Amino acid sequence: MRREHLLLGLLAAALLALPLALDRYQTSVLVLVFLSAYVGQAWNVMMGFAGLLSLGHALYVGLGAYVSAALFVHFGVSPLIGLLAAVAVCVGVAMAIGALSFQFRIEGVYFALLTIAFAEVARIGFDHLKWTGGAGGLFLPVAGSDGQWWNLRGGPLFFYYVALAMAAAAFALCAALRRSKLGYQWLAVREDAEAARAVGIDVTRARMSAVVVSAAMSALGGVVHVFYYNNVFSAQIFDMTRSIDIMLAPIIGGIGTLFGPILGAFILVPLGEGLIFATQALGVNAPGAKAVFFGLALMIIIFLAPNGIWPSLRKRLGIGEAKP
């Protein structure tokens, strides 16, 4: 444990000081890394801890983004307050999906499909919702508000620290959950729901709490996403490829581990950026090239190392993370 804490401290210090050595672009890449690690951590609560495969996780990110952005655009509500509304909406939707699924014993493949279906419903719904700009998207005013931190207005450097704090907080939260009574109940449910029931665990309640925690975390991810990009389009934010992006980092890093989503994000985001450069340099004007590569990476990882990279890396570093 000593060694783990030391490494963690060093990493934190390095990340706090890092922007000094980075240009604007590199900083913005790291913002994406942290956001990806953050949302990956949220997804991991459902899949990695409670064994619930959410294939439509973009739903919660998108809802969080839309709710907070609409409140800000229409009523000037600060995202710090809009966040509460975003979390409330996401938790409400998550509970509705959870109630539907767990009440009617929709499990496994069916549950995963249901999550996609709800994300699709949201995509189509927001496409037609005039109040949030419909298919044309919702735009946040950019000019003249820089530096209003309470409105989450700022440049890459500002968002660097926001996203870093989020990734760190999500890590801490998940580490605490993982060691809590609820965390062990999740693992039990993931491993064998019927056996979990037999030792007195209310499986429905455990699953519901995982869905709620994950949705609430994802809502914040959506809020920061929209205030960072200043726009949101239903066709993009709720798209299935976005949901897959969310899953990729924790899968490649290691499902059910605490460092997996972080490691995965540090690998995938820069790789994606590099691929964009590479395809541009090669003169391949192919919009799908990056995604083809990711698809292949996903297949190869799940083929060769279904537990992800972190478990084996952890052994080499000699760090003891509680076994998932």
Angle, vertex CA 233, rays to CA 298 and CA 295, nearest 5: 10
- Which of 271/298 has CB closer to another protein? 298
- Which of 47/67 has CB closer to another protein? 47
- Which of 86/188 has CB closer to another protein? 188
**From the CB of 69, what's the least distance to another protein, in Å?**
22
Calculate the alpha carbon distances from 45 to 50, 199, 292 in Å: 7, 22, 27
**From the CB of 19, what's the least distance to another protein, in Å?**
33
Q: Which amino acid is at 18?
A: L
In angstroms, the CA 113 to CA 43 distance is: 16
- Which of 81/124 has CB closer to another protein? 124
- Which of 144/287 has CB closer to another protein? 287
**From the CB of 204, what's the least distance to another protein, in Å?**
9
Q: What is the CA radius of gyration of the chain?
A: 19
Q: H or E stretch including 139?
A: strand 138-139
Cα(first)–Cα(last) distance of the chain, in Å?
Answer: 16
**From the CB of 31, what's the least distance to another protein, in Å?**
24
Residues that bind another protein (CB under 8 A): 47, 53, 55, 100, 103-106, 108-110, 112-114, 116-118, 120-121, 124-125, 127-128, 179-181, 183-185, 187-188, 191-192, 194-203, 240-241, 244, 247, 251, 255, 286-292, 294-299, 302-303, 306, 323-324
In angstroms, the CA 316 to CA 233 distance is: 43
Give me 219's structure tokens.
């809502």
Q: How many helices (H) and strands (E) does the chain have?
A: 14, 2
- Which of 146/191 has CB closer to another protein? 191
- Which of 95/113 has CB closer to another protein? 113
**From the CB of 52, what's the least distance to another protein, in Å?**
10
**From the CB of 128, what's the least distance to another protein, in Å?**
7
Burial class (CB in 10 A: 0-12, 13-18, 19+), 108: exposed
* Residue 262: CA count within 13 A, CB half-sphere: 20
Answer for the pair 211, 52: CB distance below 8 angstroms, yes or no: yes
**From the CB of 185, what's the least distance to another protein, in Å?**
7
